[in-house]
């Protein structure tokens, strides 16, 4: 079957000149043909993500058109404005895929608002809401290596598609022939017919204004003298992040030159992920040379941000996603209470795999903390429920441990632009009172206890990878461990059981241990990986680390 599909692609008149030579090269390689044609990229609530190349199991213009045709069929049933917003980042072929998607929408009689140059995820979410669109499309593979690209689909609220909508779109995709099934129109023709229009300056300016309105201490940064090193990691963050920082008064910004401009090959770091040290290495060197207070990096689609903070001895220390989530919540709460801008009955939201330290900080400030499934759409869902009740201003902050943050309801996905602004404002504030982010973090640990949160990933590549992951998760359910290295399991929460958790069913297991530690096991929704999240708490860092190391060794055999 897969050989037949391969031959059909080989015989077709393919538009993308890169695909035919690729297909010819694998003519004698049955394994490679099977890998590309025995399956199709699965469309889910996170859209599509895959390696660039020829085949149904790869990201290419035909798979993008097929997915867009499926999305168009759903949009046509939705009434409303019959409009879709589109943006894209710096990845290889992102602009080509974005224009191809626009052409499919236009050929289906659906209006398109597309950015005239690369813009990040939050800007797409904002435009979807601003133009009252039925849907949004973001062409990106987030922080994956350069050989990947992807396609995120958004609903009218600017949140990633719901499970129900994604299932309908997937069914429509299944009915659409990948090579010939999508209605197509050239981008130029769509523009000439008035079906494709660019996002206007009014929308862009409204996006920046919405972010800048969320300053906690307006005007503070103009006099604080903060010195910053910033890297957009060759992605879409450069213009929006520097514009907002300049607007609020942070002008001493040194950009990492090798990572300043868009480059989908990401030649300076194989994995453009601000969670990992290698991606921040060039920025850290520059920070040391310039004596910066802070080094900050956003991922290619600028929905995540990572930082290194300056320590009293002049060295730089990376801040984890959990630590930054806690620091920002603490800063926003303290600052808004001080300024008298804290709403009545404030609400913050975190994912179930994020640190329990957040709960302690929220309780200290009298903030209602809601825990939701992993995936920022669930945080967006909480904002939507507040909005439906006429209480959207109660939402002050949401975050995931994977470096995604949002303060304010103007978009419904994580936003590295507002996170960059608030992190810099926070650093400027602590600098202005003779303190630092590092000092404040140590104060938080002294107050609440020394929490340690770390994540391991186990990869399961190839066509059998997903089956192996499913088998491991089933085994953990059928034969749940009673202890980890002698630390007794006192409670197991299975998030597949929505009646017990009150949340939608999800493939997540949380083991709570007698020592107070927790172990979370969760397959990734976008990659062939099982992730394990460890939370330990000790009288100091050494004790918390020792406990974490013991737990890591105990779980390894269960994931073999």
The CA radius of gyration of the chain, in Å to the nearest whole number, is 24
Question: Could you give the CA distance from residue 111 to residue 117 in angstroms, rounded to a whole number?
Answer: 18
Classified as helix, coil or strand, 171 is helix
Q: Exactly one of 40, 142, 236, 436 is catalytic; which is it? A: 142
Q: Give the C-alpha distances (Å, rounded to integers) separating 28 from 3, 23, 24.
A: 11, 10, 9
What is the rounded distance in angstroms from the CA atom of residue 357 to the CA atom of residue 401? 12
Cα–Cα–Cα angle for 451, 316, 432, rounded to 5 degrees: 90
Phi, psi (5° rounding) for residue 498?
Answer: -65, -25
The 10 Å Cβ neighbour count of residue 22 is 19
- Answer whether 336's CB lies under 8 Å from 216's CB: yes
- Bridge-based pairing of strands 83-88 and 111-114 is parallel
Rounded alpha-carbon distances, angstroms, from residue 52 to 48, 57, 59, 106, 272: 12, 9, 5, 25, 17
**Largest alpha-carbon pair distance within the chain?**
70
Give yes or no for a contact between 306 and 270, defined as CB atoms under 8 angstroms apart.
no
User: Would you say how long the chain is, in residues?
Assistant: 560
- The reply to whether 436 belongs to the active site is no
For the beta carbon of residue 500, count every other beta carbon within 10 angstroms: 10
Is there a contact between 505 and 414 (Cβ–Cβ < 8 Å)?
no
Alpha helix stretches (DSSP H) within 39-120: 61-75, 94-107
Active site residues: 142
């Amino acid at each position: 079957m897969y050989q037949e599909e391969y031959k059909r692609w080989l015989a077709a008149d393919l538009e993308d000149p890169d695909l035919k030579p690729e297909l010819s090269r694998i003519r004698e390689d049955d394994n490679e043909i099977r890998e590309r044609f025995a399956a199709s990229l699965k469309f889910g609530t996170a859209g599509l993500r895959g390696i660039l190349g020829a085949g149904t199991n790869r990201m290419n213009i035909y798979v993008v058109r097929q997915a867009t045709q499926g999305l168009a069929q759903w949009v046509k049933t939705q009434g409303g404005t019959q409009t879709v917003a589109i943006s894209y980042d710096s990845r290889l072929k992102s602009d080509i895929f974005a224009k191809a998607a626009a052409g499919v929408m236009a050929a289906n009689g659906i209006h398109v608002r597309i950015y005239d140059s690369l813009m990040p995820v939050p800007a797409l979410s904002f435009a979807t809401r601003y133009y009252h669109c039925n849907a949004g499309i973001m062409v990106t593979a987030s922080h994956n290596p350069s050989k990947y690209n992807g396609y995120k689909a958004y609903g009218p609220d600017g949140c990633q598609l719901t499970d129900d909508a994604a299932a309908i779109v997937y069914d429509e995709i299944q009915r659409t022939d990948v090579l010939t099934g999508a209605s197509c129109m050239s981008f130029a023709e769509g523009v000439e017919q008035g079906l494709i229009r660019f996002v206007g300056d009014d929308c862009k300016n409204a996006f920046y204004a919405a972010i800048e309105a969320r300053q906690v201490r307006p005007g503070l940064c103009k006099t604080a003298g903060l010195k910053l090193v910033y890297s957009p990691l060759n992605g879409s963050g450069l213009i929006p992040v520097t514009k907002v920082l300049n607007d609020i008064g942070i002008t001493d910004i040194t950009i990492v030159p090798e990572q300043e401009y868009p480059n989908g090959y990401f030649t300076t770091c194989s994995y453009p992920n601000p969670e990992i040290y290698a991606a921040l290495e060039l920025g850290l060197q520059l920070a040391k040379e310039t004596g910066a207070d802070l080094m900050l990096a956003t991922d290619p689609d600028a929905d995540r941000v990572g930082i290194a903070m300056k320590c009293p001895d002049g060295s730089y220390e990376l801040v984890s996603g959990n630590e930054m989530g806690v620091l920002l919540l603490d800063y926003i709460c303290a600052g808004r209470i001080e300024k008298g801008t804290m709403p009545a009955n404030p609400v913050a939201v975190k994912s179930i795999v994020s640190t329990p330290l957040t709960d302690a900080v929220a309780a200290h400030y009298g903030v209602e903390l809601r825990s939701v499934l992993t995936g920022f759409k669930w945080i967006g869902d909480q904002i939507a429920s507040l909005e439906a009740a006429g209480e959207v201003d109660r939402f002050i902050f949401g975050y995931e441990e994977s470096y995604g943050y949002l303060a304010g309801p103007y978009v419904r996905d994580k936003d590295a632009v507002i996170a960059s602004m608030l992190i810099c404002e926070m650093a400027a504030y602590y600098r202005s009172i003779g303190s630092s982010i590092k000092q404040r973090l140590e104060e938080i640990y002294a107050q609440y206890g020394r929490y340690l949160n770390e994540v391991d990933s186990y990869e399961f590549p190839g066509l059998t990878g997903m089956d192996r992951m499913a088998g491991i998760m089933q085994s953990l359910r059928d034969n749940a461990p009673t202890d980890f290295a002698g630390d007794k399991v006192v409670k197991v929460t299975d998030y597949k059981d929505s009646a017990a958790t009150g949340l939608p069913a999800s493939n997540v297991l949380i083991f709570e241990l007698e020592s107070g530690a927790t172990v979370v096991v969760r397959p990734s929704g976008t990659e062939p990986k099982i992730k394990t999240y460890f939370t330990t708490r000790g009288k100091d860092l050494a004790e918390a680390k020792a406990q974490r190391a013991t737990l890591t060794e105990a779980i390894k055999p269960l994931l073999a």
